[in-house]
Amino acid sequence: MIDKFRESVRATVEKVPDGASIAVGGFGNAGVPRTLINALCELDRTGLHIVSNNAGIDPTGLGRLAGEGRIRKFTGSFPTNDVFTRQLMTGKAELELVPQGTLAERLRAAGAGIFGFYTPTSAGTILADGSYPARFDADGIPVGYMEAKEQRQLGGRQVVLEHPLHVDFAFVHAHRADRLGNLQFRLSARNFNLPAAMAATHTIVDAEELVDVGEIEPDHVHLPGIYVDDVVHTDPGAK
């Protein structure tokens, strides 16, 4: 029988190498997989490309990753972590700024096998014309820019082409998980956890409750186990 429960958080996260790209679920403080992020820090992983809605809240979650200088590049909508901002403006990190809805759809597209989509969001702005700074030198002078996007007219509107956002790993926090990896989220904690799991080659979940198959009613399965590889129990101290 398939069993995706894992006993050791550290051994499960150990498969994530330096330099990996990781989509991390959460929105503000809701649904953040802190147990997995803490294990990543304890394993001393560095040079990471983090994909998430926001760059964490100091000093926990992604805020801890930033505070310990482990983020090489951040792709997301709100890089509002003070430590990460200082690192970005002194040449120690890189930024790809993505509108929130576009971020969700790029992750979903990766999981759904969609090769690209057009959206009016960011059309005609510096996010689309190649003039938005992505890297700075030690003095805060821009030295690199986000790539320009293909722009065209569709239905009488200017739109840009966006590409799917594939990642090596996803870190996801769930309310309940069964042995097959089926997940149930609680209220707003569903947020970016669902598309993050879909976009990854390998998805690791920390769940508050581990239950047997059948204990999550079919209508309450928010993400099927086909997207999940490993499930560990949430460290109560990380909640």
* Six-digit token string for 32: 């953040």
Distance of CA 136 to the CA centre of its chain: 23
Cα–Cα nearest to 173, from 191, 200, 159: 191
Amino acid 239: pLDDT = 59
| pTM of the model as a whole | 0.95
d(CA 69, CA 86): 11
d(CA 130, CA 112): 28
239 compared with 209, residue with greater pLDDT: 209
The CA-atom distances, in angstroms, between 40 and each of 17, 30, 87, 213 are 10, 19, 20, 29
Q: For residue range 118-168, what is the model confidence (pLDDT) as tens digits?
A: 999 999 999 999 999 999 999 999 999 999 999 999 999 999 999 999 999
Q: For residue range 22-75, what is the model confidence (pLDDT) as tens digits?
A: 999 999 889 999 999 999 999 999 999 999 999 988 788 999 999 999 999 999
Cα–Cα nearest to 103, from 28, 180, 51: 51
What 8-state DSSP symbol labels residue 192? T
Question: Would you call 108 helix, strand, or coil by DSSP?
Answer: helix
Domains present along the chain, CATH in parentheses: 9-116+163-234 (3.40.1080.10)
